[in-house]
Structure 1
Amino acid sequence: MPDWVTIIIRSFILLVVLFFITKGLGKKQLSQMNIFEYITGIVIGSIVAMHAADTETNFFHALAALLVWFLIPLAVEFLSEKSKSFRNFVQGSSTVFIQDGKIMEDNLKKERFTTDELLEKLRSNNIYKASDVEFAVLEPSGSLNVMEKKENQPITAKVLGMKLPTEKEPQTVIMDGKTLMEPLANLSLNTNWLETELDKLNVSIENVFLGQADTDGQLTVDLYDDKIAVPAPSEKPLLLANLKKCQADLELFALATENQKAKQLYQTNSQKLQQAIDLVSAYLK
């Protein structure tokens, strides 16, 4: 058999084996790696490259080496789950760079980080002044996690004492012009609903590249033809606007009538409707 055919066959087999090894080791291998995972990745890649191109090497030795380097990370992962000290030794531990707003210079030197590198890491977190940071820690993967000082943190609904509705993941109900039945069923919707919503938007399903529906039953679509403008969902804003109009009408009726009983009735219902609007406005915006 010619060498080039042998190389193709060996490369294909080793690629398949490497694929299943990576899949078996989990998604952590695909994200930011710690020290041991970095070393494992280099060794496995070197084994595949060397034995794929060199026809003089024993192919079964390559498979044996890959098996060993598949089992070693699994064993290390198992021991890491059982022992924190072993985990710290193999994967490394976090290092505090900024604590209580103060830069820990000794820790920077320990990790051989310069001031410029620290500032670069802060800028990657959209922070341009070190004095804005309350706490920063360098993770074993090399990423820097930062907590800004309280006065620099964005205002949230919790800080304002506002209660917001829970929001669940939207479901993709149309993809590449095809209806996806399972996501529709997850939202307790059907194809009749989908056809009705598409009719409202005046588009055909064949022209929809991507369609997503949320738990409130609002459909948003992206079309193949980018020149066609699709209106945004308006049911909830329209409902809120109608409620506000009704409340304003009740106030006007109360001002317009001379009948005290009717005036009182209009005012009472206006207040009740305003209370209802306050409760549901967060859901309808």
Structure 2
Amino acid sequence: MPEWLNILIRSVVSLAYLLFLTRLIGKRQLSQMTFFEYTVGITIGSIAAVIATDLDGPIIYGLLAMTIYGLVPILLAWLALKSKWLRDLIGGRSTVLIKNGKIMEDNLRKERMSVEELMQHLRMKNAFQAADVEFAVLEANGSVSALLKSDNQPITPKHMGQQVAPVKEPQTVILDGEIMDEPLATIGFNRQWLKTELEKTGVALENVFLGQVDGNGQLYVDLYDDKIQVPQPQILKQVHAVLKKCQADLELYALAAQDQTVKQTFERDAKRMQEMIEQLTPLMTR
């Protein structure tokens, strides 16, 4: 067999087996891997390269070595689920870097991290002063987690006592000018509905690069031609405005009514309408 063909076969086999092992080990991103997993990954890659170029050694030996290096992390991960000591040994422990706005200098030296590196991590968390951080910890995977002090955290609807409707996952219904039937069926719509919505915006299907439907059933499209401005959906805002107008009309009717019974009826209906608007506002104005 020619050497180039032998190298080709070995490369394809080692690459295919490497892909199989990486899928078997898991789907963690590089930033989520422990140092042990990172080391094992480098070693497996090196063995795969040796398999492709070492024409004298049997390929089965290299595949066996890759198998051992691939199965050991799986076995240790399973054992680590049952033993905290083993989890700490393999993955390491987290280290507190800031507590109550005070930098823990001894822990920084222990982790061989400079103050500049710490501040870089904090800036990536939108914290530009160490004094603004209530608690910061160096995780086992090398990333820094930071909790801002309560007076430096952004205000949320929960802080203001407001209820916000849950957000449903948007579905991609158009991709590269092609209708995606499965996501469309998932949200209970069909092609006819989609074509009707496109006609409302005056856009042809073949001109749509990406089309998504949000949790409220509104269609958003991105066109190939970025110079064309597509009007954003305003259905929910229009419904909200109509409801508020109806409520205002009921209050006007109540003020203008001469008959006391009619006046009380309009006032009651206006109050009910206002309560309904308050409940629906988070759904229609987000």
Q: Given the two structures, how large is their TM-score scaled by the length of structure 2?
A: 0.93
Give the aligned partner of residue 3 of structure 1: 3
Give the aligned partner of residue 103 of structure 2: 103
Distance 1:258 1:79 in 2: 81
Equivalent residues of 2:31, 2:143 under 8 A apart: no
Q: Does the alignment pair 1:221 with 2:226?
A: no
Give the aligned partner of residue 22 of structure 1: 22
Q: Which amino acid aligns with 1:5?
A: L
Q: Secondary structure at the match of 2:166?
A: coil
Stretches of structure 2 lacking an aligned partner (at least 5 in a row): none
Distance 1:247 1:105 in 2: 62
Distance 2:174 2:193 in 1: 13
| Larger deviation, residues 273-282 vs 254-263 | 254-263
Q: How does 1:161-172 map to 2 (within 5 A)?
A: 161-172=161-172
Instruction: Report the alpha carbon displacement of residue 157 of structure 1 after superposing the two structures with TM.
Output: 1.1
Equivalent residues of 1:172, 1:212 under 8 A apart: yes
Q: Which amino acid aligns with 2:148?
A: E
Deviation >6 Å, runs of 4+: none
| Larger deviation, residues 117-126 vs 23-32 | 23-32
Give the aligned partner of residue 81 of structure 1: 81
Cα–Cα, structure 1 residues 25 and 72, in superposed 2: closer, same or farther, change >3 Å? same
Give the aligned partner of residue 123 of structure 1: 123
Cα–Cα, structure 1 residues 144 and 31, in superposed 2: closer, same or farther, change >3 Å? closer
Q: How does 1:22-61 map to 2 (within 5 A)?
A: 22-28=22-28, 30-61=30-61
| Larger deviation, residues 258-267 vs 199-208 | 258-267
Task: Give the alignment's Cα RMSD to 1 decimal.
Answer: 1.8
Q: How does 1:55-204 map to 2 (within 5 A)?
A: 55-204=55-204
Q: Which amino acid aligns with 2:67?
A: L
Q: Which amino acid aligns with 1:216?
A: N
Distance 1:30 1:221 in 2: 33
Aligned length: 285
Q: Deviations over 1:171-220 (max 9, x none)?
A: 11222222222212221222222222122112222222221112321111
* Identity percentage of aligned residues: 49
Q: Which amino acid aligns with 2:4?
A: W
| Larger deviation, residues 8-17 vs 201-210 | 201-210
